[in-house]
Amino acid sequence: MMTISADELKERIMTGREYALIDVRTEGAFAKAHLLFAVSVPLDRLELKFDRLVPRLDTPIVLCDDGSQLSEQAAERLNGFGYSRIEVLEGGIQGWRESGYEIFSGINVPSKAFGEFVEKEYGTPRLTAAEIKTMIDAGEKIVILDSRPMKEFRRMNIPGALCCPGAELVYRVTDAAIDPDTMVIVNCAGRTRSIIGCQSLINAGVPNRVAALKDGTMGWHLAGFTLEHGQSRTAPPVSEKGLQQAREMAEEVGNRAGVRRIQASELSELINQARERSLFLLDVRSPEEFENGHLLGSCSAPGGQLVQATDEYVGVRNARLVLIDDTGVRATMTASWLLQMGWEEVYVLEGGLEDAQIEKGPGQRRILGLEKVHPPKVSAEQLHTMNTEKRALVLDLANSLEFREGHIPGARRASRLELVSVLEGLKDDREIVLCSADGTLATLSAVEAANAGETRLNVLEGGTEAWHKAGLTLEEGDEPGAGELEDDVWYRPYERTDAVEDAMKAYLSWEVALVEQIKRDKTTRFRSFDF
């Protein structure tokens, strides 16, 4: 097994060459302590995520853990899938710490730290929850644009706010705030998307006064104000006038930021070079627009989320990024931020989807090793009958948060990494049915169980999603005996069941402190432009 020292990895990070730094522990363990540019890919879900995050087989890959030998297991598995340049970080995160380098907590840290950098560098205006509540109560002309995706918006929103995710802001602001005297407030759950969204509008030169809601919906809650739940209001569709103005504003931002545009022929050349240079084709429109038709080979990466959580879409530092949309507005605005984040090769596809090879649906998703796996399966209806007759024991491979949000009645939660030992300890004569969100993780796990000698094993075809689509009831809540917060996943403050306010305060303080921590780390290349 090839290894790399902390000093050697530090040097590699500073060179600007391609590499993938992958932390294979659970998300919960990762969130407690990790390297700044590490990407979380838990070993139990490696096959589900790796091809999308690291598409080139000879990408230099560094795996890290906490000394638990997970990296060695991951390396063996990846070698079997054809990845050829894998090293393990000597001493894991502890070795990195002992070498005198910074350790970070939380998730999406480079993006979060960048948001704090932006606020400090540009002096992004902000208003407190109390100040905005006073404006609302006084009947002032304001519009509140929530820069989060609809799923997050439905969970909680500022009363009267409109859902307008990240890159949609410049695209839709003219139609959302027709009167230039209307004050525009941008919010998210915490800080990053509020700051980036607000500064996007300012950089674009909108005529309206603009401010970010300090600390987002968490700040609103901590101020003692009521949030709405279950809403689905959106910013209005883009008019012809709104589109024209958005294009003009985005073009000006792109010119000042040095956004590079490429033609379809140049994209073809980049695709031809993708075996030697990692390439990510990122469609920054809404997920709904993506499913209705997208460039073959691209993946959905809504612009605001791409800036907010870049490491969830791109697992290779210093890779080439090509951004795609239908008008150029969202791609250009997103590119302007990625360039400031330190990504050097960022391009916007000129003409977007014009004259392109289009496919519909969720896009291509390659699951490593799945083509070799064919366990016996049962349908949702069959499992329902088996459950009714008490002939089935369902083991759900969801993480603790997914399990809490909905699982098959009577199911027990099991970790893929511990599945074999769980099965060995079972004293139950019922048929065992493995379940996961869409059945994929359960399918992969079934092979490991079968190799360990388990013969009474089936997989729920289509997983929990198929059960729900069949009109069958899901249970909510934790498994009896589960700890308050399990270590398998990172819980956002508002996903906790106790000490929510304390967690919110701690989270917001953590975000603010990141800007000083990245200064100590000295590996970021954040920059600002004169807009």
Residues 6 or more apart whose CB falls under 8 angstroms from that of 3 comprise: 87, 88, 89, 90
pLDDT, mean of residues 467-481? 90
Indicate whether 220 and 266 sit together in one domain: no
Indicate whether 338 and 393 sit together in one domain: no
Please give the residue that has the higher pLDDT: either 447 or 394.
394
Does the pLDDT of residue 485 top 60, yes or no? no
Per-residue confidence at 428, pLDDT binned at 50, 70, 90?
confident
Final residue belonging to a domain, choices 314, 334, 358: 358
Final residue belonging to a domain, choices 84, 107, 130: 107
Instruction: Kindly state whether residue 34 falls inside one of the protein's structural domains.
Output: yes
| Tokens 């701690």 belong to residue | 506
Indicate whether 245 and 259 sit together in one domain: no
| Tokens 């600007």 belong to residue | 16
The whole domain housing 212 covers 114-250
Indicate whether 339 and 465 sit together in one domain: no
Which pLDDT tens digit goes with each residue over 435-470?
999 999 999 999 888 877 777 789 999 999 999 999
Distance CA 87, CA 66 (A): 15
Contact 67, 91 (CB under 8 A): yes
Does the pLDDT of residue 501 top 60, yes or no? yes
pLDDT, mean of residues 264-284? 96
First-residue to last-residue Cα distance in the chain = 49
Q: Which residues of 220-230 are buried (b: 16+ CB within 10 A; e: fewer)?
A: bbeeebebeee
Q: How many domains does the chain have?
A: 4
**Domain of 241: which CATH number?**
3.40.250.10
The predicted pLDDT at position 482 comes to 58
Indicate whether 14 and 97 sit together in one domain: yes
pLDDT, mean of residues 114-127? 98
Indicate whether 321 and 434 sit together in one domain: no
Indicate whether 308 and 208 sit together in one domain: no
Indicate whether 348 and 389 sit together in one domain: no
pLDDT, mean of residues 253-276? 96
Final residue belonging to a domain, choices 447, 469, 491: 469
Report DSSP letters for 50-68, one per residue: HHHH---TT--EEEE-SSS
Instruction: Kindly state whether residue 10 falls inside one of the protein's structural domains.
Output: yes
Instruction: Kindly state whether residue 491 falls inside one of the protein's structural domains.
Output: no
Burial of 496 per CB tally in 10 Å (0-12, 13-18, 19+): middle
The predicted pLDDT at position 354 comes to 86
Report DSSP letters for 228-239, one per residue: B-S---BPPPPP
Indicate whether 123 and 238 sit together in one domain: yes
Indicate whether 330 and 375 sit together in one domain: no
Which pLDDT tens digit goes with each residue over 220-239?
999 999 999 999 999 999 99
The predicted pLDDT at position 1 comes to 82
Does the pLDDT of residue 105 top 90, yes or no? yes
Distance CA 472, CA 411 (A): 14
Distance CA 459, CA 434 (A): 5
Please give the residue that has the higher pLDDT: either 455 or 363.
363
Indicate whether 305 and 340 sit together in one domain: yes
Looking at every residue in the chain, the average pLDDT score rounds to: 95
Instruction: Kindly state whether residue 503 falls inside one of the protein's structural domains.
Output: no
Tokens of 277: 């240079």
Indicate whether 184 and 123 sit together in one domain: yes
Which pLDDT tens digit goes with each residue over 282-337?
999 999 999 999 999 999 999 999 999 999 999 999 999 999 999 999 999 999 99
Does the pLDDT of residue 483 top 60, yes or no? no
Instruction: Kindly state whether residue 484 falls inside one of the protein's structural domains.
Output: no
The predicted pLDDT at position 484 comes to 53
In order of 35, 175, 209, 217, 305, the CA distances from 172 in angstroms are 37, 6, 16, 22, 17
Instruction: Kindly state whether residue 98 falls inside one of the protein's structural domains.
Output: yes
The predicted pLDDT at position 391 comes to 93
